[in-house]
Structure 1
Amino acid sequence: MIREITEMDYPRLMEIWQSAVLNTHDFLKETDFLYYKEMLPTYFKHVDLFGFEKDGELIGFMGTSEENIEMLFIDNDFRGIGIGKKLIAFAITNLKASKVDVNEQNTQAVGFYKYMGFKIVKRSAFDEKGREYPILHMKL
């Protein structure tokens, strides 16, 4: 079931984020991991958040802003069973999302978004903070 996220869900979102990032973002320097972990609750306040619940437990979430999918994280114990697909389909259908930016080094995410129909339209050599994490700008 997909539902809106409330601030009471933030601690669980942090757990999901950490589980996902530690298992998919092996390119991320530890200092940057710690920075993003600290900043994440602030980022939550700037996006519309939706979570996927299974048996009453949040196991994945995404954040959108206008037509952009800003974040998508699935608890590592539940990756590969279609939760990301359901959240993206929800975003496309209900929220009119059509764009996403992805770390180029996160090859699993790049492949996933390509599978979902997104195409690379531009590449930036640095992320929005000027760090050396190339970003692929993708669009449906």
Structure 2
Amino acid sequence: MEQKRIEIRRYEPADNACLTAIWYQASCISHPFLPDSLLQEQRLQISSKYLPETETWVAVGPAGPVGFIGLIDLFIGGLFIAPEWQSRGIGSLLLSHAFDLKGKLALEVYVANQRAVDFYRKHGFCGVRRRETDDNGLPYPLILMQKPCPSASRRTPTSSSRSF
């Protein structure tokens, strides 16, 4: 656990190239089922739209950014950690920071990304709903997760086009 050496700060335009690279590297590992052509398209959207337009918090290590979390209101658009910095508590640190800011969070995660599903469950998120296609209409099921867990009568439908 190397959290003591990590600072969390707001996104700055100078972070764009580094965070886009982190997103791509982490996505290739955590989403091996997605075609590279799709990841390349999304990479452009991350750089031009999502990073500059969302509330993005950056985890910075001794040599620069090592991960980030992007928030759209109470929705986590993405949480990505550089592969060489994973499993060091940085994702947990960013998630705690976001929860402290918002008090309630939701996200969507690919069912096939079991490591991420387990990570969010470990942090108190529960599955609310499943959908069978992703935002591109491809057959990659997603789970909508929330924290705190809503009662069964308060569950709301998921909306699309909100995840990195």
Question: TM class, shorter-chain normalised?
Answer: over 0.9
* Deviating more after overlay: 115-124 vs 26-35: 26-35
Out of 109, 112, 115, the position equivalent to 1:102 is 109
1:56 positional shift:
4.4
Aligned to 1:34: 40
1:138 positional shift:
0.2
* Deviating more after overlay: 96-105 vs 111-120: 96-105
Aligned to 2:75: 68
Preserved CA contact (<8 Å) 1:126 1:133 = yes
Out of 121, 127, 135, the position equivalent to 2:128 is 121
Q: CA separation in 2, counterparts of 1:129 and 1:21?
A: 16
Preserved CA contact (<8 Å) 1:60 1:73 = yes
Q: Give identity over the alignment, percent.
A: 27
Aligned to 2:88: 81
Q: CA separation in 2, counterparts of 1:59 and 1:99?
A: 23
Matches within 5 A, 1:38-57: 38-41=44-47, 42-57=49-64
Out of 11, 20, 24, the position equivalent to 1:18 is 24
Higher radius of gyration, 1 or 2:
2
Preserved CA contact (<8 Å) 2:24 2:39 = no
**Partner of 1:128: helix, strand, or coil?**
coil
Aligned to 1:8: 14
Preserved CA contact (<8 Å) 1:102 1:135 = yes
Note the residue ranges of structure 2 that are not aligned, 5 or more in a row: 1-6, 148-164
1:91 positional shift:
0.4
Q: CA separation in 2, counterparts of 1:122 and 1:17?
A: 25
Aligned to 2:138: 131
Note the residue ranges of structure 1 that are not aligned, 5 or more in a row: none
The residue type paired with residue 37 of structure 1 is R
* Deviating more after overlay: 28-37 vs 59-68: 28-37
The residue type paired with residue 90 of structure 1 is H
Aligned to 1:112: 119
1:90 positional shift:
0.4
The residue type paired with residue 134 of structure 1 is P
